[in-house]
Amino acid sequence: MTRIEEEKVEHLLGILAIVSILIAWVAGSNLSQKDVLPYFKKAWPQAGRFEQPGNGIYTVYADKTSQNIIGYATIGEANGYGGPMKVVVATDLTGNIAGLAIVEQKETPSFLDRVSDSDFIKSFVGKDYRDSFQLDKDVDGISGATYTSRGIAEAALRGSRRIAELQLKLPLPNQPPAKIQFGFPEITLVGLYLVGFVGHRQRFRFKKQVRWVSMLAGLIILGFIYTRPLTISDINKLLLGFWPQWQTNLYWYLLIGGILFVFTADNKNPYCEWFCPFGAAQECMGALGGAKPRLSGRYKRTLTWLQRGLAWLAVLLAVLLRNPGLTSYEIFGTLFDLKGTTLQFALLGIILITSLFIRRPWCSYLCPLRPVTDLYRTFRNWIEELWLTIRKKQSVS
């Protein structure tokens, strides 16, 4: 097969991948909704029964037969790390929280496990609806699952205030506007984009040295300190429309927006080769072992297509099941937080050892982000060519 024929096949498969993901997106809306009543019972196990009068707020009775009302419950909604989450919020008759239970969430399993393994949910019991529910002020956030814990706190706040306002007819406190989160991770990210912008210049003398500084900064700050690398779940969130509140998730917008902007304007990937923390970790291993791009020919082709297949499957299932973090198979958290399943640790061990001999084995043959960036680049170039052809025709005529 010639190179041109290969390119045609690649373009056709790229279009088929997009069409199948669109079909999955539509089909995902047909999946049935969960029965929420068991979650009300989980939130308040001592309650006898829950009855819904019709406004989305359930009345909670002391036992199965009596008319003794002990509180109210509803579903609070907010955005977590992976997308919207629904939480049952039950309050007593004074507006104090009696219990919480997560009904639906789109979190990466390892993040949710951190919350489930802690007493975070229980720490809301007894909180007043007038409290601000701010992390590390009113409630202790869970390290490494900040967005998930913030989402639960926000859902608890909204649910309890809804009951207080609509059912208990209590006055609500003034809600201060959301505070813009612009801290060290955001500053680092902007700094790394700027370093990349300078470093990408063709005639820059210290390109190699600056790239190593950028990679090490990415590895230490975005990897080990904050554990916030780009993952396929970020792409899935973008596709599913689960865009978080910008004031509290500025980092996400800077990461996604920065990459898309540089790619579109300059046709260069500012992230993977310059400050991806996991890429940097592999390159450090490679520097120790003298790694080279060892695979060639059919082995390389087979692995590239398997990588594309994995990325397609990860996006397709996430879109179908409306859960961006579900198929995020990256092992970044396993390395930087030392959290993960046995399989993930096994995979991490294999990758780190292989990195000693092969240059960036994860990035080259397994990472789901590479096929996504390849596809984006293909369509970007195609649109650019089309645009130039149209302009050429216009100038001739």
Partner 1 sequence: MANDQKKTKRVIEFIFFLVLILCVILILIEIYNNVVHELQGNLWMMFAQVL
H-assigned helices in the chain: 3-28, 37-43, 109-116, 146-166, 184-199, 207-217, 232-240, 250-266, 272-275, 277-289, 297-320, 332-336, 342-355, 361-365, 369-396
Residue closer to partner 1 (CB basis): 264 or 341: 341
**Residue among 22 and 194 whose Cβ is closer to partner 1:** 22
**Rounded distance, CA 275 to CA 348, Å?**
19
Q: Which is nearer to partner 1, 69 or 343 (CB)?
A: 343
The amino acid sitting at 168 is L
Nearer to partner 1, 108 or 149 (CB): 108
**What is the C-alpha to C-alpha distance for residues 162 and 314, in angstroms, rounded to an integer?**
37
For residue 154, the minimal CB distance to partner 1 (Å) is: 23
Residues 127, 133 contacting (CB under 8 angstroms): yes
The minimum distance between CB 322 and partner 1, in angstroms, equals 10
Smallest distance from partner 1 to CB 216, Å: 26
**Closest distance to partner 1 from the beta carbon of 330 (Å):** 9
What count of Cα atoms within 13 Å lies in the side-chain half-sphere of residue 154?
A: 18
Residue 160 near residue 76, CB atoms below 8 Å: yes
For partner 1, the closer CB: 296 or 397: 296
* Minimum distance from residue 347 beta carbon to partner 1 (Å): 5
Q: Which is nearer to partner 1, 110 or 149 (CB)?
A: 110
User: What DSSP state is assigned to residue 16?
Assistant: H
Kindly state the smallest distance separating residue 265's Cβ from partner 1, in Å.
33
> Do 310 and 366 touch, CB atoms closer than 8 A?
yes
Q: Which is nearer to partner 1, 173 or 349 (CB)?
A: 349
Query: Least CB distance from residue 164 to partner 1, whole Å?
Result: 33
- Contact positions vs partner 1 (CB under 8 A): 27-28, 30-32, 109, 294-296, 299, 302-303, 306, 310, 313-314, 317, 320-321, 323, 326-327, 329, 341, 343-344, 346-347, 350-351, 354, 357-358, 361, 365-366
Give the nearest distance from C-beta 325 to partner 1 in angstroms: 9
Residues 149 and 80: their CA atoms lie apart, in Å, by 8
C-beta of residue 315 within 8 angstroms of C-beta of residue 239: yes
> Could you tell me if 74 and 57 are in contact, meaning their C-beta atoms sit under 8 angstroms apart?
yes
Of residues 58 and 278, the one with the C-beta less far from partner 1: 278
CA 71 → CA 53, 96, 318, distances in Å? Answer: 13, 9, 37
